[in-house]
Chains A and B, each alone.
Chain A
């Protein structure tokens, strides 16, 4: 595989304090890396670059915040991620 430099920091820093619920995806030993990219693109409409960045953050850091918003939205995002077999949690 070729080297693809990361153009953005691995963790998200633009957390809005008014929107406290975060949807976190955790690393696991079974989900395929490309599959995780596909799911993130499919569910959140990310570009391939952004979805790949988030997937690598999950893989390398053990977890990554993939979405944030009001609690109801976060719970719906968690549902959709679990529907696709990703290990997702919600936290403030």
Chain B
């Protein structure tokens, strides 16, 4: 089964029970994040915008946090609506598919931060189940990227 297939008016999303089992937990997980001061997952989603001026960063986030909250809540609603219909296959508009993508990515960032992934190589040190969940979400996200871009990229990465 192809989970994300470009069609004329968007992306056809068709998810397996296994996909849905994992994905349906993500909105609650994201909604349960704590305060950035004591939750690394929340902190990752609110990283400093001014690196060398924490006051300016805090002020920026103070001004923008409501807009982020609204935008992320809208993304999660779109995500949940797609999940409700995805067992039988549903066409998501491009905007809805992009919202779906942001929730997938946000979940991976938050989950990885919660598990202590901070640098390259940290992922390899995770417990098998945790790593498996992150890799599963990454592979779904990768398929959605390809569907939205309409092509697979080719480039060489330095070792």
Indicate if the CB atoms of B153 and A34 lie closer than 8 Å: yes
Measured in the bound complex, the distance between the Cα atoms of B67 and A60 in whole Å is: 32
Measured in the bound complex, the distance between the Cα atoms of B155 and A48 in whole Å is: 11
Select A4's contact among B47, B108, B138, B155, beta carbons within 8 Å. Answer: B155
Residues of B close to A59: CB separation below 8 A: 157-158
Residue A14 CB within 8 A of the other chain: no
Q: With A85-B109, A89-B51 in contact, do A29 and B117 touch (Cβ < 8 Å)? A: yes
Interface stretch of the complex, out of B19-27, B81-89, B120-128: B120-128
Measured in the bound complex, the distance between the Cα atoms of B105 and A75 in whole Å is: 21
Select A1's contact among B47, B118, B156, beta carbons within 8 Å. Answer: B156
Residue B33 CB within 8 A of the other chain: no
Select B117's contact among A30, A52, A60, A78, beta carbons within 8 Å. Answer: A30
* Per-residue A-contact encoding for B89-103, CB less than 8 Å = 1, 0 else: 000000000100110
Question: How big is chain A's contact interface, by range?
Answer: 20 to 34
Residue A35 CB within 8 A of the other chain: yes
Indicate if the CB atoms of B50 and A90 lie closer than 8 Å: yes
Indicate if the CB atoms of A32 and B142 lie closer than 8 Å: yes
Residues of B close to A37: CB separation below 8 A: 149, 153
* Per-residue B-contact encoding for A21-39, CB less than 8 Å = 1, 0 else: 0000001011111110110
B102–chain A nearest beta-carbon distance, Å:
6
Residues of A close to B117: CB separation below 8 A: 29-30
Residues of A close to B146: CB separation below 8 A: 34
A38–chain B nearest beta-carbon distance, Å:
5
> Taking beta carbons and an 8 Å cutoff, which residues of A are in contact with B?
1-4, 27, 29-35, 37-38, 41-42, 48, 52, 56, 59-60, 75, 78-79, 82-85, 87-91
Contacts A38-B101, A48-B151, A78-B49 supplied; 5 other A-B pairs, CB < 8 Å? A3-B156, A34-B145, A37-B149, A56-B157, A85-B106
